[in-house]
Homo-oligomer: A and B are copies of this chain.
Amino acid sequence: MQTRTDGRLVRGDQTRRAVLRRAVDIASVDGLEGLSIGRLAGELEISKSGLFAHFGSKEELQLATIRAARRIYVDAVVEPALAVEPGFGRLWRLIESWLDYSQRRVFPGGCFFAKVSHEFGARSGPVHDFLVSVDREWLGLIEQCAAEARAAGELTADPTQLAFELNAFCESANLASLLRDEIDTVFSRARQSVRTRLEAAATPGATLPWA
């Protein structure tokens, strides 16, 4: 056994990390099915069998890839928002972080979850179920932030409805940015929609974060 660091084997864990880092990038462009073990091993210049041994099955690799993507997503989108105190400001920061996450291509294929959720949306099985739970987490978080802002008296709007709409703007901007050349135009249009929607939802007289 290797020297342990926090309960994980060093050598194997490093390989695993390297594999997953590459895997999320590939999957964000070509999907979790397009993510083939042979291709992944080829790009990393390791053996297919050695890579396979880390996961035991393709499905396990896919699930591990989603977990890895989720971690990156949390770092890029959720954490920056949680650093802001609850209320209108946090809600706005959350959406702003998301748009930034998509726009600056944290994953080369745009939002990882938009991609693979569409890939597995109409199927069944563990991968689908996992993606459903991540989606629930995400929408729940927006909703919770909206509810906090409402509790603070900064917002008058149904949190569920508002969360649906803000998330819709994000998703739609992400796809449009993949299909159009003028990426910046797409995102500034989305930001405009977000601002307008939040202004309409804000309690009259409340100070708006972008003002």
Residues of A whose CB lies within 8 Å of any CB of B are: 28-31, 33-34, 108-110, 114-115, 117-119, 121-123, 131-132, 135, 160-161, 164-165, 167-169, 171-173, 175-176, 178-180, 189-190, 192-193, 200
Pair B160/A164 contact, Cβ less than 8 Å: no
Nearest residue, chain B, Cβ from A110: B122
Pair B193/A161 contact, Cβ less than 8 Å: yes
Pair A122/B29 contact, Cβ less than 8 Å: yes
Complex: A172 Cα to B160 Cα, angstroms: 14
Pair B178/A28 contact, Cβ less than 8 Å: no
Q: Which of B28, B161, B167, B176 contacts A192, CB < 8 Å? A: B161
Pair B117/A179 contact, Cβ less than 8 Å: yes
Residues of B within 8 A of A34 (CB): 33
Residues of B within 8 A of A168 (CB): 165, 168-169, 171-173, 193
Pair A123/B30 contact, Cβ less than 8 Å: yes
Pair A189/B161 contact, Cβ less than 8 Å: yes
Pair B175/A132 contact, Cβ less than 8 Å: no
- A138 to chain B: closest CB distance in Å? 11
Pair A179/B114 contact, Cβ less than 8 Å: no
Residues of B within 8 A of A115 (CB): 118, 121-122
